[in-house]
Amino acid sequence: MADQTPQFPPLSTPYAPPPFSFPHLSPPLPQPIPSPNPNPNPNPNSTFHLQIPFQGKRKRTGFRRKASHPSTSEVTPPLPPPTPPPPPPPSLPFYPPPSGPNPIKNPLENPSLDLSEEIIVINKEPTAEALTALTAGFPADSLTEEEIEAGVVSSVGGIEQVNYILIRNHILSRWRENVNNWVTKESFTSVIPPHCETLLNSAYNYLVSHGFVNFGVAPSIKEKIPAEPSKPNVVVIGAGLAGLAAARQLMLFGFKVVVLEGRKRCGGRVYTKRMEGANKSAAADLGGSVLTGTHGNPLGIIGKQLGLSLYKVRDKCPLYRPDGNPVDPDMDGKVENAFNKLLDKASRLRQCMGEVAMDVSLGAALETFRHVYGDAVTDDEVNLFNWHLANLEYANAGLLSKLSLAFWDQDDPFDMGGDHCFLPGGNGRLVQALSEGVSIIYEKTVHTIRYGVDGVQVIAGGQVYEGDMALCTVPLGVLKNGSIKFVPELPQRKLDGIKRLGFGLLNKVAMLFPYVFWSTDLDTFGHLSDDPSKRGEFFLFYSYATVAGGPLLIALVAGEAAHKFESMPPTDAVTLVLQILRGIYEPQGIEVPDPLQSVCTRWGTDSFSLGSYSHVAVGASGDDYDILAESVGDGRLFFAGEATTRRYPATMHGAFISGLREAANIAHHANARALQIKVERSPSTNTQACASLLADLFREPDLEFGSFSVIFGQKTSDPKSAAILRVALGGTRKKSSSDGVKTDRQRSNKLLFQQLQSHYNQQQQLHVYTLLTRQQALELREVRGGDEMRLYYLCEKLGVKLVGRKGLGPAADSVIASIKAERGNRRASSNSTDRMVDTKP
């Protein structure tokens, strides 16, 4: 049947664009995620408020240490993961079914009833389904910016949106119940009312085309791959998780795909090596190793499809001093508490500094506070404090002196909830399953990529691979090195983004021993150094004995030590590790044997990676991840990888998700070309500057009422002059003087607005925008009944369509430019007046 294979929304748009709407945002095709900006705050440069404590950053490492606090230790307990949030309290209902025994009205009983004004009821567990949507990266009760730009509903903020979200969440939940099945659209027709068929099509097509459901390696999904491709051919550069995810998804969509890989293996920076010796063997993850969060992690879903179980990394992590003695529990708790307080001070500092914090490093802020407050006094306390710094550098694969104080943790609000886990047998099992059936040509080092209106040419050695489109998934380190020549040269904004983002280093020493001599009731333990420059040298040990199939221990090297490690002879490295281990265990009467086999990584000098993973460096921001993700050449050359996702950078699942994202983008452009439809370029060439500028302008709105803000395009009072409206969805709503006026319409829309600004999104505010006239803005301000009535008036009476900040497009550029110029002149005039006053005697 037609719906048994991936389908895309029809080209014909069912909605006439309302005034000031942008037709290219209507739902014609499987819309791309042009520059993934899942940050609910459309402009991260505009706010420096910390969403969760700094210490949450450690969760990315998979190592969430619990210090050995004595019972009397006054240490601030860590906050729970940010997702999923707790269910809303009873006082704030979430999608409650309408009253009455039959919420879905029968139109035959009342022919004049407009069912489109009713909130549908699919089942009795909408809250549980909303939580499932959260784990997949969707807001519980609002649209993502990508959905808004894809035009999944005709207007933002109405009953139609509520019903779409209910349907979307239901489809997600149904598939998550059994990820081995291919969920069909027909399976929902019995629970979705006929008048919502358009919303069912919209939600189903969006979820399938963007890889939220029906992805992976289950037999029911693999059998949907067409035997003969019917769509254009795509050349994928790199067989890492991003490249493999995109290749499989594109094959599912009917594309012809070839993957070029420079190594002799697939997986990229995910590499599981089989270590052997004296009848012992173990699977060692020398690259990506920890699944950071299992709630909604797509790699966890792949593992589930393969029938693999995950192993939770335990939090217990004893620390040992340089002499091998255990760290005193009282001192451990004291220093960790002091460390976290300094991070909090740095958080408050960046809020006060504003955008200036972009030019300051996290390391400089911490070092300043450390000297001012003197929290670590004794040598032992200093060594312990330095261990925490090393752990922070491990989390970011970067030196603290290079990390942006403003945005180093910009992805923390999107940290996936759930346990951090190992995959028994290594992550290579995921790579192997994803690579099956994919055409991969190994030992093909790409050195040139040509792209233009007629297609692409990818050159590896003396061979040329031609395609309609290409997807580049090479690591950021390779792009920074200029190892690949792009013809024509990449746009300057992308080159600048590549330069601004940081790409750090983490190395490992893996050792297979004859037997397990360390404690089996822990998965990690740490070692302190008395040399600050070596604080990251073998500072943390991971025990893989329970998951690798043998007595395997891996020592980590982070920060400055990771760079020096690149030139350290492997024998010297193993000798130093053994000295540490023997200093810890031999005083306990435990003999430490020589390893049967040892392996030292050199990710920094590996020509196919030139580093480990990305971070936000000084001068960079989360926008740079978006810039790296942008396609070039009018939809001919695309980019994926962990450094192209601002929400999940530096993670294995981030790389995988970026591959699914680009498969949707490639399909969108291919369909558009087949139908000779020009794809509007989004975002515009000045997205980063425009986003920052727009946020600056809205810091001083000309009008502000409730959750609505307005800036006027001209100083003139012409009622037809242009204005830009911003609506804040989520967060704490401001009250206006009109909010106390209660009307029947207000009560009827109360549920809707609660859903738009619910408990779930109070910490993750989403801004949507539109263009209107000065007169319309003034009329909107006078609407009584609170924000829900204003939203109704805006969408239903004025017929205005709200869009994400990228959706404003070129139509708003002149308005923004005129406002900037007018305010600039105003400030210049004000400064001139001030100088005249100051010079008076």
Q: Where are the domains of the chain?
A: 126-214, 232-274+296-303+419-503+609-669, 319-403+506-600, 688-730+765-828
pLDDT of res. 837: 42
Phi then psi dihedrals of residue 327, to 5 deg: -70, 135
* Full DSSP string of 182-229: ---SGGGTTTS-GGGHHHHHHHHHHHHHTTSSS-SS-HHHHTTS-SS-
Token couple for 123: 């089942």
pLDDT of res. 48: 30
**Per-residue CA distances from 219 to 301, 306, 423, 536 (Å):** 14, 10, 21, 44
* Full DSSP string of 72-135: T---PPPPPPSSSPPPPPTTS--SPPPSSS--S--TTT-TT--GGGSPP---S-HHHHHHHHHH
Q: What sign for the dihedral angle of Cα 805, 808, 814, 819?
A: negative
Half-sphere exposure of 589 (CA within 13 A, CB side): 0
**Per-residue CA distances from 621 to 349, 496, 616, 678, 695 (Å):** 17, 12, 6, 31, 15
pLDDT of res. 744: 43
Class of domain 126-214: mainly alpha
- Report CA 752 to chain centroid distance, whole Å: 28
Class of domain 232-274+296-303+419-503+609-669: alpha beta
Token couple for 458: 């990818």
Phi then psi dihedrals of residue 373, to 5 deg: -95, -20
Amino acid making up residue 267: G
Q: What sign for the dihedral angle of Cα 169, 170, 171, 173?
A: positive
Place of tokens 């090596």: 273
Write the DSSP symbol of residue 739. Answer: G
**Per-residue CA distances from 476 to 260, 442, 607, 608 (Å):** 17, 20, 12, 10
**Per-residue CA distances from 597 to 163, 514, 549, 771 (Å):** 59, 10, 15, 66
755's enclosing H/E stretch is helix 744-756
Token couple for 701: 């709105």
- Report CA 159 to chain centroid distance, whole Å: 28
362's enclosing H/E stretch is helix 362-373
Token couple for 73: 């230790």
Beta partners for residue 255, in sequence order: 231
> Angle at Cα 597 formed by Cα 595 and Cα 603, nearest 5°?
115
Q: How many CB atoms lie within 10 A of CB 835?
A: 9
Is the peptide bond preceding residue 488 cis, with omega within 30 degrees of 0?
yes
Q: Round to whole Å and give the CA distance between 431 and 148.
A: 33
Three-state DSSP state, 348 = helix
Pairing between β-strand 231-237 and β-strand 255-260 as defined by DSSP bridges: parallel
Token couple for 839: 């010079």
Could you tell me the pTM of the whole model? Answer: 0.76
Token couple for 20: 């000031």
The percent helix, strand, coil of the chain (3-state, each to 5) is 40, 15, 45
Token couple for 413: 């609000």
Q: Round to whole Å and give the CA distance between 132 and 343.
A: 32
Three-state DSSP state, 710 = strand
Q: Round to whole Å and give the CA distance between 625 and 616.
A: 9
Q: Round to whole Å and give the CA distance between 39 and 144.
A: 9
The answer to whether the CB of 292 falls within 8 A of the CB of 556 is no
Architecture of domain 319-403+506-600: Alpha-Beta Complex (3.90)
pLDDT of res. 627: 96
- Number of residues written out for the chain: 841
* End-to-end Cα distance, the chain: 88
Is the peptide bond preceding residue 78 cis, with omega within 30 degrees of 0?
no
Token couple for 188: 């929902």
Write the DSSP symbol of residue 313. Answer: P
**Per-residue CA distances from 192 to 73, 84, 118, 122, 493 (Å):** 55, 26, 13, 7, 45
Beta partners for residue 552, in sequence order: 512
pLDDT of res. 415: 86
Sheet of 463-467, strands arranged across: 463-467, 455-460, 446-452, 485-487
Q: Round to whole Å and give the CA distance between 735 and 732.
A: 9
Q: What is the pLDDT of residues 93-105, one digit of tens each?
A: 233 333 333 333 3
Name the stretches of the chain with pLDDT < 50.
Answer: 1-62, 69-113, 682-687, 732-764, 833-841
Q: What is the dihedral of CA 195, 201, 203, 204, to 10 degrees?
A: 130
The answer to whether the CB of 400 falls within 8 A of the CB of 363 is yes
